[in-house]
Amino acid sequence: MARAVTGEELDPILIQVTIPLPIGMIYAAFTEPAQMVGWLAAKAEVEPTVGGRYEVTFPGPPAFASRGRILQLTPDVDLDFSWEAPPAFADLMNEPAPRTHVYVRLQESPEGIDVTLEHAGWGSGDRWEEARSWHFHLWDERLAALKDYLLKAAYG
């Protein structure tokens, strides 16, 4: 997703977790609302097509909804969606349109499936650094929850 570059932008958030389960099961955890509520959010609405909705509601704190759109989608390979930030960063990140996006790629590795999440599009400055730090912790926590959720679903 192209957008104007102003000054030095912060590096994307890049987090990876390896999950020893079938790729289809992992991909479904990102695209099927019933699966997404098990690890990501309290509520999810997904239209799995380019341009479709990718909306997740978090119970908090802080409670918020990210009403994104799917920018790219290749079943069992990758997913890219626009991201709306929580209220504390909404004026920075959501106006006039979502300024960041989240790209998830699944790739086979000897230990299972590598799930790589990249949250990109950060600006520069103190508020951007604060927003990036907050989102890093969110995604780090959520990907750990994804692995736990899927392993429990597969093995009990």
**How far are the Cα atoms of 47, 82, 128 from residue 70, in angstroms, in the given order?**
8, 7, 23
Inform me whether the pLDDT recorded for 7 exceeds 60.
no
Q: Give the domain range for residue 109.
A: 13-155
Q: Is residue 104 part of a domain?
A: yes
> Do the domain assignments include residue 36?
yes
Question: Taking the complete model, does pTM exceed 0.85, yes or no?
Answer: yes
For residue 123, being part of any structural domain is answered with yes
Residues 54-75: pLDDT tens digits? 999 998 788 999 999 999 999 9
Q: What is the mean pLDDT of residues 10-16?
A: 97
Judge whether 81 lies within some domain.
Answer: yes
> Residue 154 — pLDDT band, cuts 50, 70, 90?
very high
In a domain, 4, yes or no: no
| 119 within a domain of the structure (yes/no) | yes
Q: Give how many domains the chain has, as a whole number.
A: 1
pLDDT confidence tier of residue 4, bands split at 50, 70 and 90: very low
User: Do the domain assignments include residue 57?
Assistant: yes
Q: What is the domain-level CATH number for residue 36?
A: 3.30.530.20
Residue 34 CB partners (closer than 8 Å, separation 6+): none
The secondary structure element, H or E, covering residue 151 is helix 126-155
pLDDT at 98 over 70: yes
The Cβ of residue 41 has, within 10 Å, a number of other Cβ atoms equal to: 18
Instruction: Please report whether residue 53 resides in a domain.
Output: yes
